[in-house]
């Protein structure tokens, strides 16, 4: 088992609150990705789970055992660092076997276990080499192997792919996902890369200024962002976010701004400032004669169209805001011309402007 309960956890450094009252229940077998911009507190949170940093307040439970203040070596978790932290003077075999030596496992069992893990990660032919004689990708595998070797309840990984080139990163991403499946262990994985998060996570915890903005599956956070911050962080190109005003007419909520008219769900709304969000892939040029009761209709001037090969991206002005449209080629939008765009109701996101939280 490897359930980690993070309860009201905070960490302050002088006047900075790096982690601010975070609650996450990491389920056994989860691949939880801690995602967020630089400085949002991801590493601080991970280091507290590893026992490398003491919380200012709150609790950490590993399978019901309170490990909040337990030293790192007493926790049944293994950390993979961004720079791999291999011992340069030790061979790969000795690096892999190090955690077993610390645990005082007998030598024959340790050798057998190192062999087994090396086979699993396809590094058995490298056992006699020193870290400096390895490629970046091979070093990364040794670092992962050293974590696997003692069968911990949970793996904690701090941007383990950031030192690899783009191609190797993609391949290693798949390997880590496979490994997670095979081991069935709990992974807590720090990254600021949304592609890593979307492709690897069973759940994503999105952090901002030390606070938890949203916790959910990749589909949850992408399809139903809980705040303007989440909406703008995930997706490339980013979600279009336009200031608008919401009100209701005839028992239906409507949204309007210069060039934008949207008719939303039935209900009453006080007249209020909102942010309307629409992903670039959900905007399409309106077909002549099309008429829908609900959804958004946006009148724009097309300023530029970029060709990305398989698809095109158009930038358009609506009022004083630039919005982006993404569609397979050929996109029916032309530089320098006006156009009318539409989006279906199910693709509209509405946020309160002052709190930034999702409305509905």
Residues near ligand ATP, by CB under 6 A: 13, 16, 18, 36, 38-44, 192
CB of 18 to ligand ATP, least distance (A): 3
**Which residues are CB-neighbours of 77 under 8 A, at least 6 positions away?**
49, 50, 51, 62, 152, 153, 154, 155, 156
What tokens does 195 get? Answer: 């592609």
What tokens does 104 get? Answer: 């005082």
Please answer whether residues 279 and 347 qualify as being in contact, where contact means their C-beta atoms are separated by less than 8 angstroms: yes
**Which residues are CB-neighbours of 1 under 8 A, at least 6 positions away?**
28, 63, 153
CB of 349 to ligand ATP, least distance (A): 25
Alpha-carbon dihedral angle through residues 108, 136, 152, 64, given to the nearest 10 degrees: 170
Other C-beta atoms closer than 10 Å to the C-beta of 285 total 18
Measure the N-to-C terminal CA separation of the chain; round to a whole number of Å: 37
CB of 77 to ligand ATP, least distance (A): 18
CB of 122 to ligand ATP, least distance (A): 30
CB of 33 to ligand ATP, least distance (A): 12
**What is the spatial distance between Cα 98 and Cα 114, in angstroms, rounded to a whole number?**
10
Minimum CB distance to ligand ATP smaller for 44 or for 240: 44
**What is the spatial distance between Cα 348 and Cα 279, in angstroms, rounded to a whole number?**
8
Minimum CB distance to ligand ATP smaller for 37 or for 267: 37
Minimum CB distance to ligand ATP smaller for 42 or for 141: 42
CB of 58 to ligand ATP, least distance (A): 15
């Amino acid at each position: 088992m490897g359930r980690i309960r993070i309860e009201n956890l905070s960490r302050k450094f002088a006047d900075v609150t790096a982690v601010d009252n975070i609650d996450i229940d990491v389920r056994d077998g989860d691949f939880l990705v801690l995602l967020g911009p630089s400085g949002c507190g991801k590493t601080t949170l991970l280091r507290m789970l590893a026992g490398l940093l003491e919380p200012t307040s709150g609790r950490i439970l590993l399978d019901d055992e309170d490990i909040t203040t337990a030293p790192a070596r007493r926790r049944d978790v293994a950390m993979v660092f961004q720079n791999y932290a291999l011992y340069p003077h030790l061979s790969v075999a000795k690096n892999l076997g190090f955690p077993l030596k610390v645990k005082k496992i007998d030598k024959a069992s340790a050798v057998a276990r190192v062999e087994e893990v090396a086979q699993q990660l396809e590094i058995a032919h490298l056992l006699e080499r020193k870290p400096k004689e390895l490629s970046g990708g091979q070093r990364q595998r040794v670092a992962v192997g050293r974590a696997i070797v003692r069968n911990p309840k949970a793996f904690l990984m701090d941007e383990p792919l950031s030192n690899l080139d783009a191609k190797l990163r993609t391949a290693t991403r798949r390997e880590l996902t496979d490994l997670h499946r095979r081991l069935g262990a709990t992974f807590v994985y720090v990254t600021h890369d949304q592609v890593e998060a979307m492709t690897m996570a069973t759940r994503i915890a999105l952090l901002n200024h030390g606070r938890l903005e949203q916790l959910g599956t990749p589909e949850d956070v992408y399809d139903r962002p809980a705040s303007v911050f989440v909406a703008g962080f995930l997706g490339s190109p980013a979600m279009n976010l336009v200031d608008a005003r919401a009100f209701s007419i005839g028992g239906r909520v409507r949204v309007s701004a210069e060039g934008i008219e949207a008719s939303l769900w039935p209900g009453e709304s006080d007249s209020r400032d909102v942010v309307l969000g629409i992903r670039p892939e959900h905007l399409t040029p309106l077909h002549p004669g099309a008429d829908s009761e609900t959804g958004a209709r946006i009148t724009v001037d097309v300023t530029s169209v970029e060709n990305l090969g398989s698809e095109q991206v158009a930038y358009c002005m609506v009022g004083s805001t630039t919005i982006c449209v993404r569609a397979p080629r050929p996109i029916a939008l032309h530089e320098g011309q006006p156009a009318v765009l539409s989006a279906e109701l199910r693709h509209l996101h509405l946020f309160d402007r002052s709190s930034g939280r999702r409305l509905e």
